[in-house]
């Protein structure tokens, strides 16, 4: 930590929906200070003003590399989008700056390469596709349930501007379910043999399978971030659902990650790793 006794935080993606929420949350945190904000939009504007909390004296800069060099943050928080996030995470690893990223749709090999670099430099990178505590619990409960009810499908519903599908949360949930099935030696019932999508133009109606779990993605205005895990057994259905109705739901998790990432080394995946 810097000698100011505050954790000095740089926010990448500061003009975005999540970035603005992070600016507000970090601004209100008594143990943190915003020292930099980066985005390709709103360059030159004050990050606080953009986030609706008034002038905080932190202008949005366009280039993360020079922002890191100029501001020397203790922690970078990244809520940009895939591509930009991979670049930012890699840069943090090379610059020995701990990084928290919530961006989704990231390429695993790029993350692992950055993780190896971070490990070599003795810093941590925490990547979590969902910072809401309820979503972490939903994934944990779904994994537990899959030991006994291995037949499961996921429906995830997000706002219409979400770029990636399926969501990072759905992918992580499917991964946890698959892992849980393996440990318990529980297998889902095999799909019926033969063609099951006969209607022309209806390909994909059974969802996209990840780890053997079908995922169905809905993108509509009105949603923020929602997910249902449906587990079926003979004569019974168990539904586990989580709804983020406001982006503030992610902020306690983001603040926790900022506080804990400095204790980590290398790539760490999922908020539960620091809970």
* Run of H or E including 60: strand 60-61
* Residue 227 is a binding residue for ligand NAD (CB under 6 A): no
**Angle ∠(61,224,42) on CA atoms, nearest 5:** 15
Q: Check the CA dihedral 118-124-125-129 and report its sign.
A: positive
Phi then psi for 2, rounded to 5 degrees? -70, 165
**61 binds ligand NAD per the rule CB under 6 A:** no
Find the part of the chain contacting ligand NAD (CB under 6 A) among 23-31, 126-134, 174-182, 234-242.
Answer: 126-134
Q: How many residues bind ligand NAD (CB under 6 A)?
A: 25
162 is catalytic: yes
CB 240 within 8 Å of CB 98? no
Residue whose Cβ sits closest to ligand NAD: 16
The one among 35, 38, 60, 136 contacting ligand NAD by CB under 6 A: 38
Rounded alpha-carbon distances, angstroms, from residue 199 to 157, 196, 205, 206, 211: 25, 9, 10, 12, 25
Tokens of 273: 């790793």
158 tagged catalytic: yes
For ligand NAD, the binding residues in 82-111 under the rule CB under 6 A are 84, 102-104
Is residue 88 within 8 A of residue 31, CB to CB? The reply is: no
| Among candidate residues 84, 63, 77, the one with its CA nearest the CA of residue 25 | 77
Scan residues 231-250 and list those touching ligand NAD (CB under 6 A).
250
Q: Does 73 bind ligand NAD (CB under 6 A)?
A: no
Interface with ligand NAD (CB under 6 A), residue from 53, 81, 113, 256: 81
Measured from the CB atom, the residue of 15 and 155 that comes closer to ligand NAD is: 15
Q: Is 186 near ligand NAD (CB under 6 A)?
A: no
For the annotated catalytic residues, the residue numbers are 158, 162
Sites of contact with ligand NAD (CB under 6 A): 12-13, 15-19, 38-41, 79-81, 84, 102-104, 128-131, 162, 225, 250
């Amino acid at each position: 930590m810097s000698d100011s006794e505050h954790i000095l935080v740089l926010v990448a993606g500061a003009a975005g929906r999540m970035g603005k929420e992070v600016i507000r949350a970090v601004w209100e945190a008594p143990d943190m200070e915003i020292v930099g904000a980066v985005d390709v939009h709103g360059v030159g504007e004050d990050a606080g003003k953009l986030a609706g909390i008034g002038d905080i004296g932190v202008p949005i800069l366009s280039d993360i590399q020079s922002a890191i060099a100029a501001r020397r943050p203790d922690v970078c928080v990244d809520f940009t989008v895939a591509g930009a996030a991979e670049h930012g995470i890699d840069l943090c690893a090379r610059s020995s700056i701990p990084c928290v990223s919530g961006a989704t749709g990231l390429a695993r090999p790029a993350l692992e390469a950055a993780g190896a670099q971070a490990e070599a430099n003795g810093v941590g990178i925490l990547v979590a596709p969902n910072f809401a505590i309820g979503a972490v619990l939903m994934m944990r409960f779904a994994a537990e349930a899959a030991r006994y009810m291995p037949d499961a499908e996921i429906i995830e519903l997000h706002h219409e501007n979400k770029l990636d599908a399926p969501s990072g949360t759905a992918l992580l949930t499917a991964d946890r379910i698959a892992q849980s099935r393996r440990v318990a030696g529980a297998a889902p019932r095999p799909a019926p043999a033969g063609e099951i999508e006969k209607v022309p133009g209806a390909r994909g109606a059974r969802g996209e399978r990840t780890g053997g779990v079908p995922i169905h993605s809905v993108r509509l205005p009105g949603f923020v971030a929602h997910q249902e895990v449906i587990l079926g057994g003979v004569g019974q259905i168990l539904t586990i659902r989580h709804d983020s109705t406001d982006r503030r739901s992610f902020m306690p998790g983001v603040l926790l990650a900022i506080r804990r990432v400095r204790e980590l080394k290398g790539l760490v995946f999922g908020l539960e790793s620091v809970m």
